[in-house]
């Protein structure tokens, strides 16, 4: 797997949390 995939998932999780407030 691409090592960046894990970082991307973590990033999206943070973004979703920020959007959720």
pLDDT of residue 20: 93
pLDDT of residue 4: 75
The Cα–Cα gap between 15 and 2 comes to 20
pLDDT of residue 21: 86
DSSP string covering the chain: --HHHHHHHHHHHHHHHHHH-
pTM of the model: 0.41
pLDDT digits (tens, 9 = 90+) for 2-18: 667 788 999 999 999 99
């Amino acid at each position: 797997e691409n090592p960046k995939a894990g970082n991307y998932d973590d990033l999206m999780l943070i973004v979703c949390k920020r959007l959720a407030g």
